[in-house]
Every structure is written in structure tokens, then in C-alpha cells.
Amino acid sequence: MEIENILGYIGALFIGGVLGLVGGGGSILTVPLLVYLLSYSPVVATAYSLFVVGASAVAGAIQKYRKGVVDIKTGLFFSFPSFLAVYLSRKYAVPGIPDVLFSTGGFTLTKNMGLMLFFAVVMLFAATAMIKPKKENGKTEHSKPSYPFIFMQGIIIGTITGIIGAGGGFLYVPALVLWTNLPMKKAVGTSLIIVAINSLIGFTGDLQEMKVDWSFLLPFTFITIMGILLGGYLSKFVSNKSLKKSFGWFILVMAIYIISKEILNS
């Protein structure tokens, strides 16, 4: 086994551990790990990430459901427009992006560079969401959901999720709190259903476009899930808020690294 694959599997354990510890955000590291450490193209990396994220979200959703913090009806309703957007973006939008987006002077913005820069921008938003303190929604009963807003949010977030290959939990959670008035803990649990459905269905949009290396992807995913279980156990002994804020700063640094690396290598 090559040293890069060993480091990749260690990275999978780390990503899963972060997901288990802080409850979200760790999956956003999957694409950079696959691109910069394992040398996959951004298109392949975002596809593989969707599978890893989807399988991990299934494990997380089951765990949250047992704790009674999942609103299945709302999750399924929200996921409908969202998974359509994810699937269509993977099936048509990403393959339809030209190899060269534009060129001026000595600078050329390629498809791969554009995907990674867009990914880095989303990472900046994710980092901000983790660093900024969240206000708990103390409502025990929520009012009638705003279904038109849910539909629009689902399409927008689904499209972003499909392009960057991340779970999008940091986008779904505030949307669920804002538009369905779910309490924060239940919004987190419900978001896992949406992430699982969206990611796995979105991944099927890539199956006809690429040959999947299952001998790598399945062990990588399995190790990530093991990391989630380990992180979930360790979360009993650490402060979730301080850990999430620290990880947010780490994501911020990673986003800046990606932006600088892509621009300097152009």
C-alpha cells in the first residue's frame, strides 16, 4: 500500500472523528484531502466526497433518530427539491463546465481551479458559521413551516452541495431553524437525513461519467464511519462549543491555503 493511501486513510479517520466530535463540518475536509494529498481531480474528489458524506450521514442519522432528535417528515420534505438539485448539478452542470472558464493576459481560470476556489469560498462561510456563536431556538412547538422558502432553500443549497461535494449541513441547519422553526438540536439531527439522501443520490449522477475506484472508496468510507463512532464517544469528555470554534479556525486557514495555492499555481 502506497504511503499516500495510508495517509489518506488516516485523514479519513480524522474527518470522521471531527464529525463525531463537533457534529458537522468535518466532511468539508474530504475534498481537499482527496485533491491535495491523494491527487484526485476536483471533479472525481467531489463525487467521492458525496459518497463518503452520504454514507457517514446515514450512520449519524440513525444515531440521532435513536435519541429522538430527528424530524423525519420535515427532513424528507426539505430533501425533495434539494436532492433533485444535487443530482442535476452532478449529472449536467459539473460535466458541462468548460475546461477553461476564461483567460486574460497571463492568467487562465481552468475548470479545476474554479471548482477549488468556489469550494474555498464555501469553506469560508462554513468557518464563519463554526466560529460565530449560535443562538439556541428554545421553541418546543414550531409554527407552520414556510414551504415556499423551504423549496427555494432546498434548490439553492442542493446546487451548492452538488458542485462542491460537501454535505452542506452547515447550510441546512440554519435553514431548518429559520424556515421550519425547529429547535437547534432537532435541526442538526434532521439535516443528516437531508445530507444522506442528497449526497447518495447526487453521487449516482456521476456513476455514468466516471469509473469509481471502489477498492479505495469503500475502505475510506468505512474508516470515516469508524472515526464518527470514535469521535462520538470522545465527545463526552470534551467541550463541544470550544472544539467547534477551534475547528472553525482550522477550516478558515485551510480555505486561505486553497485560495493561495490555486492562484499561485495558476
Give 223-236 pLDDT, tens digit per residue: 999 988 888 777 77
pLDDT of residue 106: 76
Q: How confident is the model at residue 177 (pLDDT cuts 50, 70, 90)?
A: confident
Q: Structurally, how many domains does the chain consist of?
A: 1
Task: Kindly compute the dihedral angle of the four CA atoms of residues 148, 152, 157, 163, in this order, to the nearest 10 degrees.
Answer: 150
Q: What is the C-alpha to C-alpha distance for residues 191 and 74, in angstroms, rounded to an integer? A: 9
**Residue range 57-83: mean pLDDT, rounded:** 84
User: Which of 224 and 20 is assigned the larger pLDDT?
Assistant: 224
Q: How confident is the model at residue 132 (pLDDT cuts 50, 70, 90)?
A: confident
In the block, which residue shows the cell 446546487? 159
pLDDT of residue 191: 84
Q: What is the C-alpha to C-alpha distance for residues 83 and 102, in angstroms, rounded to an integer? A: 30
SS3 state of residue 108: strand
Backbone angles phi, psi at 71, to 5 degrees: -100, 95
Q: How confident is the model at residue 221 (pLDDT cuts 50, 70, 90)?
A: very high
pLDDT of residue 140: 47
Task: Work out the percent of the chain whose per-residue pLDDT is above 70.
Answer: 89
Q: Are 11 and 221 in contact (CB under 8 A)?
A: no
Q: How confident is the model at residue 214 (pLDDT cuts 50, 70, 90)?
A: very high
**Residue range 147-152: mean pLDDT, rounded:** 74
Task: Work out the percent of the chain whose per-residue pLDDT is above 90.
Answer: 6
Q: What's the chain's average pLDDT?
A: 81
Q: What is the C-alpha to C-alpha distance for residues 23 and 112, in angstroms, rounded to an integer? A: 29
Backbone angles phi, psi at 64, to 5 degrees: -70, -35
**What number of H helices and E strands is found in the chain?**
11, 2
Domain span including residue 153: 3-264
Please, what is the angle between helix 214-234 and helix 42-66, to 10°? 40
Evaluate if residue 16 carries a pLDDT over 80: yes
Q: What is the C-alpha to C-alpha distance for residues 3 and 188, in angstroms, rounded to an integer? A: 36
Evaluate if residue 89 carries a pLDDT over 80: yes
pLDDT of residue 220: 93
